[in-house]
Every structure is written in structure tokens, then in C-alpha cells.
Structure 1
Amino acid sequence: MMKKILLATFAFFAVGASAQEKPVDSTKHWSVIGQNTLMLNQAAFSNWVGGGANSFGWLAGVNYNLVYKKDKNLLENTIILGYGQNNTQGLGTRKSQDIINLASNYGYEIGKNWYASAGVGFISQFTNGYEDGNNPAAKKISNFMAPGYLSLGAGFTYRPSENFTLTLRPANARWTFVLDKELQKAGNYGLKNDGDSSLFQLGFFAGSTYKLKLMENITLLNNASVFSNYLDHPERLVLSYGGVLNMKINKFISTNVTLDLLYDHNQIMKTQLKQTLGVGFAYNIDNGVKFKEDKRNKDWK
């Protein structure tokens, strides 16, 4: 009898100690959605009467959305990196994609789906850009941190679901950097004088992200923003839109179509457009199930 009591007591304390030592799963507050892509395209011709030039191209990129939510705290991080080249016989190698886009936004809940927030963003590119289709023999018009854009602001964020976010910042500072001395000319990217390396702006910023599932394995990610400079010509809005249509064939193969529109008076007084289409390897990450048990808004992958 005594042995049974001692054995039961030992088992009780062993279970209790095990429960106390069980680590807390801190990852349950994180939602990580991302895609790693490598797109390839190729064309070859030999004695082809219709004509054509041999070509080979590639495009690699990552697109991640990392969200931390606990109690009234909300932290959203976006990482978009992409670079690609295309080599065509007779023309040589040309850049087909070049983007660095990093953003982070922290919010503290003040009402249903509303957060007082502050955030920072950075946009630039990896390598030189040239006139005449990025021909290295042509005039250089851009480079890493030429321009580079750093934004810092405070305001409010509305997030009714994990598929839609709207951020409004009545106070948003925006620095334009031109660190390539060859491009530090008055008028370039809004620079006031030759030799200037930066331009400061203070204004209003609004940005939104909308994730839409069109049908099974077909999704559309939309990003749009607008900025107005209080200090100089507030009517000259900086407008941007980026759309990524992803058509997943299986876990590792997908087709991506991207569309980017930009109007920035300080860059060029015309609407800029960039479109890409690629088929290749794409590895998707979606551990959003850990974010919260309610799966009603978990329809985007």
C-alpha cells in the first residue's frame, strides 16, 4: 500500500514538473506568408525562316509579409526583393527587374480594427539603370540609393481582416537620396542644386494592401499608395500601384504576372509602367494558421 502511495505521489509531481517546464510557443502570435521565386525564359533559333534572336532570361525574388499580433499590439513587416536579367543575341545583357522594398508598421489598438501606428519604409534598387532599355553604353539614370527613398511617419491603421490593411499618416517625412555623384544634378529626382545628395519632404501618406483569392490556386496581391508634400506643390501627388497575380500549378511551379504603375513628378512627368510575366519555380510559405484559430480570413496563400 505504501509503495502505491509513493508511486502515485511521484507520478503527480513528475507530471506537475513536466507541465511547468513546457515551453511557451511564442510563434503562435506570428503569421508568415511568403513566396520565393525563380522564373526562367528561353528562346533558340537555327535556320528559322521567320527570323528571331536567341535569348535567355531569369528573374529571382522574394515577397514576404510577416505579422506579429498579441493583445493590442500589431507589427507588420514587408520584404520585397527582386532582380532579373535577359540576354538577347546581338543586344547583350539587359536588366529586366530590380527592386528593393522594405517596410515596417507598428500599431496599438485604440478601437475595433483601428490602431494608432507609426512606420518606416525604404525603396531603392540594386544596380545601375540606363536610358535606351538599360543599355550600358547609354546614359546612366539611376543606381543603388540614386534614388533611394526613406519614409517615416505616424498616424492610424485600419485592419478589419488579414486580407486588407489601410494606413493613413497625416505626418510623414520622406527623404530622397541621390548618393551617386554623377546623378547629383539640379532637377534630378527633385534635387534643388548641383551636388545635393538628398531632398526632404513632409506630407500626407496613405497606403493600402489588399489580398484577393480569385479562385483555387489563383491569387492577386494589390499594393497602392499616395503621397502629398505639404512643403512644395502639394497637388503633385506621388502615386504608385503594384499588383502580383500568382497562378499556382503545384507546390513548386507557378506563373507570376506583375504590374507596376508609378507617377512621381520629381522623377519624370509621365506615368511609368512595368510589367513582367514568368513561369518557373515558386516556393510558398504560409504558417498563418498559428496566427489565430479563426480561419475565416485565411483564404489567401
Structure 2
Amino acid sequence: MKPLKLLFLLAGLCILSTEARAQFSISKVTPKEADVKNKKDTVKEISAVTKNPFFSESRYRAERRKLRKERNTISCTVGLSLNQTGFDNWVGGGNNTFDAMASLLYVHTYARNKFNLTYSLDSKYGMNVISGKTFKNIDYFIINVNSGWAISKNWSYSASANLRSQWTKGFRSADDKTMISNFMSPGTLTLGVGLTYKVFNKAQNRTPFVMTINPISGSMLFVLSDTLSKQGMHGIPVGRHQKSSLGSNMRIDTNIPIAKGKLNYINYFYISTNYHDNTYVEMQNTLQVRATKIFSVDLFCRTVYNELQVTPRNKALQWNYKFGLGLSYVFKNK
């Protein structure tokens, strides 16, 4: 009887061990081809901004516009003055004259934290007509770019570029059609590094005084006209179109309103020293009396000292002044 009980006990243990092995065994399954095909991800990325239930797109755009306006300051002044004098059977005699001058002054300043960037375009162009003879009496443009990194309230490290030239051909006089200048003939490009001192008036939201000093600068003088180059004009050797030199320069810009903006004084002073053979000095003074928002009376004086430029009396100092009534309008973003 005991052997029979032992046999049944062994048979039960074998059955239990077989069922346990079946519970933990993993069968090999071969997937079908349809189950392993690549499928595109249909889940789209959702911006973190749109997840915010308090986000307003219109408010976001308004804040961006406000931020751009705070960082960018733009001012543009355009002007046009006309003068005419006529005589008919006038006992004192005289010549019929017509004079016109257009002006443009554009200044854009970008400021963010300690970095600032200012670029400007200053240009005037005037024509005279005397007894039917036409010739220009003023023609110039000045492009200035200045980038700075503030080191104090008023001072900053700076790097600047200055380009000066004229737009069209210039002749000796209305009777003598000998060409003496043309576009970029002469033209001067000056690059320099140094310091900039700037004063900002919060009450008037303007910068009345800016001074840039570049103790190290490189100057390139151009005469792109073949006619003038062959003559060796403006201090460049015969047959050459460009001449480079090292030196230093300083620029001062002043824009001061007087009598609550009814008068405006604008001054531009620039001096460039050449370590070789030339010193260039230019100063412009403009006094503007504003009668209305559109009409104004302007007194303009420009002085240039250039040792290399040929003048009618062979003197380095040149003067140009003008008094006129015309149209003037200022565009500002602030």
C-alpha cells in the first residue's frame, strides 16, 4: 500500500510541475508583413504659447510694436526752397534768376541694452538759372554709420564709417563747361574706431549733442571718373582712381531747439587729418525759423577747407551760404 501512495504522490508532483512550466513559457510568434509597415506620426506639435489659456495674440503684437518703437528712433526732415527774381524794362538793369534747393536729413537710431547703432543721410542739391544758363550751386551727400557699446551714461566705445561725395557733374562756372567733379569724383570713405560722447534729453526725446573721436582711422579717396583721373585731379596721381592713407578724425553733431521749437539750430563739424599731406575740415550751420508746420525760413552756411581741391582762386578755404523761404516738414516716429 505504501508503494502505491508513493506512486500517486510522484504522479501529482509531475502534473503540477508541467502546468507551472506551461504558464511561464513564451511561444514564438512571427508577425505578418501588414503589422510591421511604417506609419506616419499624426501627432502635431503644439506651441507652448498656445497652450497658455491667457495668451492674447493681439496683445503680443501690440507689445512687440511698442518694443520696436522704444528701440528705434527715426527722424526725417525734407525741405524745398524756391527763389525767383525777374526784370522787365527795369531802369536799374539786372538778370532774371531762378534758384531752387532740395534738402534731406534722415537719422535712424537703434538701441538695445548697451548696444546702439545710428546711421544718417544728409544731402542738399541746388540749381541756379541766370539769364537762361543753368548750373548747380550746391551738391553733396554725407552718409554716416556709427555703432557703439556703452561704458557709462554718456560714453561708449564706437566704430564708424563716413562716406562723402556729390550726385552729379560739376563745372567751373555757367560759362566754362570744364568738368571738375562728378559722382564719387572725388569721394571719400573713412573708417575709424574710438569713443563717442552722447547727450540725451528725455524731456524733448532727442539727442542734442553727439561727438565721435577716432584716434585711428583709415581714409580712402576716390576719383572714379576716367576724365578726371587722367588729369590727376583732387590729389590722386595721374591714371589712378584711388588713394589710401592713415590718420585720425573727429565729428560733432548738434541739434538744439530754441524758443519751444520755433527756432532750430543744426551744426555739423568734421575734421580729418592725414598723416601724409592733407587736412580736411567741413562745418555746416543751419538756423531754421519755423513759421508754421510746413513753411520755414532757413539760413545756411557751409565752410570747407581742403588743401588738395582746386578752387577758382587757388585757396583751400571755401564758403557757401544761402538764405531762403521754403517748405520744410519733419517726420518722427516718437
Do both proteins adopt the same fold according to a TM-score greater than 0.5, normalized to the shorter chain? Answer: yes
Task: For residue 136 of structure 1, report the CA deviation from its aligned partner.
Answer: 6.0
Question: Separation in 1 of the partners of 2:332 and 2:60?
Answer: 30
Question: Separation in 2 of the partners of 1:156 and 1:185?
Answer: 39
Match of 2:108 among 62, 66, 69: 66
Using the size of structure 2 for normalisation, the TM-score is 0.75
Matching residue of 1:280? 326
Q: Is 2:164 aligned against 1:123?
A: yes
SS of the aligned residue for 1:111 comes to coil
Matching residue of 2:144? 103
Question: Separation in 1 of the partners of 2:241 and 2:55?
Answer: 65
How many residues align structurally?
270
Within-5 A mapping of 1:198-237: 198-216=242-260, 217-230=262-275, 232-233=276-277, 236-237=278-279
Matching residue of 1:260? 302
Matching residue of 1:183? 228
Using the size of structure 1 for normalisation, the TM-score is 0.83
Task: For residue 272 of structure 1, report the CA deviation from its aligned partner.
Answer: 0.9
Matching residue of 1:271? 317
Q: Is the 8 A contact 2:232 2:239 kept in 1?
A: no
How far does the alpha carbon of each residue in 1:248-295 deviate from its partner, in whole angstroms, 9 at most, with x for none? 1101111122111111111144201111222111111233x4xxxxxx
How far does the alpha carbon of each residue in 1:122-165 deviate from its partner, in whole angstroms, 9 at most, with x for none? 1111111111x3x2643211111110111111111111221111
Name the aligned partner's letter for residue 99 of structure 1. Y
SS of the aligned residue for 1:184 comes to helix
Matching residue of 1:6? none
Within-5 A mapping of 1:42-191: 42-89=84-131, 92-131=133-172, 133=173, 135=174, 137-161=176-200, 162-185=207-230, 188-191=233-236
Task: For residue 173 of structure 1, report the CA deviation from its aligned partner.
Answer: 0.9
**Aligned CA distance change for structure 1 residues 207 and 21 (closer, same or farther; 3 Å):** closer
**Aligned CA distance change for structure 1 residues 78 and 15 (closer, same or farther; 3 Å):** closer
Question: Separation in 1 of the partners of 2:129 and 2:61?
Answer: 58
Q: Is the 8 A contact 1:187 1:266 kept in 2?
A: no
> Larger Cα Rg: Structure 1 or Structure 2?
2
Query: Share of identical aligned residues, percent?
Result: 29
Structure 1 unaligned residues grouped into runs of 5+:
1-11, 290-301
Task: For residue 174 of structure 1, report the CA deviation from its aligned partner.
Answer: 0.8
Task: For residue 117 of structure 1, report the CA deviation from its aligned partner.
Answer: 0.7
**Aligned CA distance change for structure 1 residues 21 and 209 (closer, same or farther; 3 Å):** closer
**Aligned CA distance change for structure 1 residues 215 and 130 (closer, same or farther; 3 Å):** same
SS of the aligned residue for 1:196 comes to coil
CA RMSD between the two structures? 2.0
Matching residue of 1:41? 83
Name the aligned partner's letter for residue 293 of structure 2. K
Matching residue of 1:299? none
Structure 2 unaligned residues grouped into runs of 5+:
1-51, 201-206
How far does the alpha carbon of each residue in 1:55-82 deviate from its partner, in whole angstroms, 9 at most, with x for none? 2221112112221222111111111122
How far does the alpha carbon of each residue in 1:191-242 deviate from its partner, in whole angstroms, 9 at most, with x for none? 1x31011111111111111112233411111111111122x14xx4321111
**Greater strand percent: which structure?**
1
Q: Is 2:239 aligned against 1:195?
A: yes
Matching residue of 2:44? none
Question: Separation in 1 of the partners of 2:123 and 2:60?
Answer: 43
Question: Separation in 1 of the partners of 2:176 and 2:157?
Answer: 49
Question: Separation in 2 of the partners of 1:184 and 1:259?
Answer: 30
Question: Separation in 1 of the partners of 2:187 and 2:328?
Answer: 28
Q: Is the 8 A contact 2:118 2:147 kept in 1?
A: yes
